[in-house]
Amino acid sequence: MMVEPDRIMVRQILTSLLAGAFVCAGAGLALAQGTAPPAAPKAAKKDAPKPPAAAKQDAAPAAAAAAAGGAEPTLLGQYGTWGAYAAAPAGKKVCFALAKPSSSKTNPPNRPRDPAYAFVSTRPAEKVTNEVSIMIGYQLKPGSESTLEVGGANYTMYTQGDGLWIKNAAEEERMVDAMRKSADVTVKGVSAKGTETTDTFSLKGLAQALDRIAQDCKR
């Protein structure tokens, strides 16, 4: 199980890769639909507020340009709601499956937040395979625990900043296996301001995306 500095590093890598991933996804989907990818965006105005990474399709190119170290990811394939990607930040290969929630709600209702994303990452240099993490879109309540529900089981998630990881690493393989076989997964958390959130991710295509990154991220 990773210690906190490792979690922070992984979150920074995933966040920076996120923007580039959605640029690739947009182009890939456009080609699949027989349409041309969007033209290169104009330079952002200096006085414009900085949007959350990949929060909007028109903001993704600008955020992708900020990805450090030439680590812009390559779209390996789109499988249902999940994209499979590969990148090499600092020369170390990273492969990951990525999806946005199919539904999100807050309690109290309609509280503002950044978009949430689910990742399943493989990092051969660190001997990490199929590590599940959720970028939840807000600062979690310090010291709180979140839950991930899939296949009729609940898994306790460790919280750090705006990220979630499974608390008991020994359960992760079983959780990923359940995700491969289930229709959806539900993630619940509590923000630093006490807002409760529920995000549901469709798992359509996840098994195929994981098979693809396993193939591409062989040592």
Per-residue pLDDT at 173 exceeds 60: yes
**Confidence at residue 158, expressed as pLDDT on a 0 to 100 scale:** 92
Q: Roughly what angle, to the nearest 10 degrees, separates helices 172-181 and 206-216?
A: 120
Contact 83, 25 (CB under 8 A): yes
**Confidence at residue 73, expressed as pLDDT on a 0 to 100 scale:** 85
Higher pLDDT, residue 178 or 35: 178
Instruction: Give the span between the Cα atoms of 167 and 157, in whole angstroms.
Output: 5
**Confidence at residue 26, expressed as pLDDT on a 0 to 100 scale:** 42
Mean pLDDT of the chain: 76
For the ranges 12-21, 40-49, 153-162, 199-208, the lowest mean pLDDT is seen at 40-49
Secondary structure E strands in 56-99: 74-79, 82-87, 94-99
C-alpha distances (whole Å) from 161 to each of 81, 134, 150, 209 are 26, 11, 23, 27
Higher pLDDT, residue 89 or 113: 113
Tokens of 189: 């958390």
**Confidence at residue 159, expressed as pLDDT on a 0 to 100 scale:** 92
pLDDT in tens, 94-134: 899 999 999 999 999 999 999 999 999 999 998 999 999 99
Q: Can you name the CATH fold of 4-216?
A: Immunoglobulin-like (2.60.40)
Task: Work out the percent of the chain whose per-residue pLDDT is above 90.
Answer: 57
Q: Which band of pLDDT confidence, cut at 50, 70 and 90, is reported for residue 190?
A: very high
**Confidence at residue 90, expressed as pLDDT on a 0 to 100 scale:** 83
Query: Residue 53: is it exposed, middle or buried by C-beta count within 10 angstroms (0-12/13-18/19+)?
Result: buried
pTM over 0.85: no
CA–CA–CA angle 107, 112, 118 (5° rounding): 85
Per-residue pLDDT at 60 exceeds 50: no
